[in-house]
Chain A
Amino acid sequence: MTAGTPPSPSSLLYLNDITVSFDGFRALNALSLAIDRGEMRAIIGPNGAGKTTMMDVITGKTKADQGDAYFSGTHDLRSLDEARIANLGIGRKFQKPTVFESHTVWDNLLLALKAPRGVFSTLVASLSGAQTEKIGELLEIVHLTDAKSMLAANLSHGQKQWLEIGMLLAQDPQLLLVDEPVAGMTDAETAKTATLLREINKTRTVVVVEHDMTFVRDLDVKVTVLHEGSVLAEGSLDHVSADERVIEVYLGR
Chain B
Amino acid sequence: MNDLRKLLFGNLSTGLYAVLLAAAIVVPFFNLVVPASWPIHISTFMVGLLGKYICYALLALALDLVWGYCGILSLGHGAFFALGGYAMGMYLMRMIGPRGVYGDPILPDFMVFLNWKELPWYWHGFDHFSFAMLMVVLVPGLLAFVFGSLAFRSRVTGVYFSIITQAMTFALLLAFFRNDMGFGGNNGLTDFKEILGLDVQKETTRNILFVASLAALAGGYAICRAIVTSKLGKVLIAVRDAENRTRFLGYRVERYKLFVWVVSACLAGIAGALYVPQVGIINPSEFAPASSIEAVIWVAIGGRGTLVGAILGALLVNGFKSWFTGFLPELWLFALGALFIFSTLFLPQGILGALLYRRQKKGATLPPPGEADAIAPEPPVEDEQQAKLQRAGA
Contact = CB atoms under 8 A, between A and B. Distances in A.
Of A101, A132, A153, most buried by chain B (CB within 10 Å of CB) is: A101
Interface string A103-118: 1101100111000011
Interface string A84-115: 10110001101000111111101100111000
Contact of B238 (A61, A84, A111): A111
Contact of B232 (A94, A123, A151): A123
A165 to B, nearest CB: 14
B388 A149 contact: yes
A153 B244 CA distance: 17
A251 interface: no
B231 interface: yes
Given A102-B378, A122-B232, A148-B392, A86 B248 contact: yes
A60 B44 CA distance: 61
Majority DSSP secondary structure for residues of B touching A: helix
Contacts of A112: 249
Contacts of B246: 100, 111
A208 to B, nearest CB: 17
Interface string B232-251: 10110110111011111111
Given A86-B249, A107-B388, A148-B392, A123 B230 contact: yes
Interface string A147-165: 0110101100000000000
A82 B248 contact: yes
B249 A101 contact: no
B326 interface: no
B250 A171 contact: yes
B256 interface: yes
Interface residues of B, number: 41
A121 B391 CA distance: 19
Interface string B209-238: 000000000000000000100111011011
B259 interface: yes
A151 B367 CA distance: 10
B39 interface: no
Interface stretch (B46-54, B338-346, B358-366): B358-366
B250 A100 contact: no
A125 B251 contact: no
Leading 6 A-B pairs by shortest Cβ distance: A86-B250, A101-B367, A125-B231, A122-B232, A106-B392, A87-B250
26 contacts: A61-B244, A82-B244, A83-B251, A94-B245, A100-B242, A100-B246, A102-B237, A102-B379, A102-B380, A103-B237, A106-B391, A106-B392, A110-B231, A110-B234, A111-B246, A117-B249, A123-B230, A125-B231, A125-B232, A132-B394, A148-B392, A149-B388, A149-B393, A151-B364, A153-B367, A154-B364
Interface of B: 227, 230-232, 234-235, 237-238, 240-242, 244-253, 255-256, 259, 363-368, 378-381, 385, 388-389, 391-394
Interface of A: 59, 61, 82-84, 86-87, 91-92, 94, 98-104, 106-107, 110-112, 117-119, 122-125, 127, 132, 148-149, 151, 153-154, 167, 171
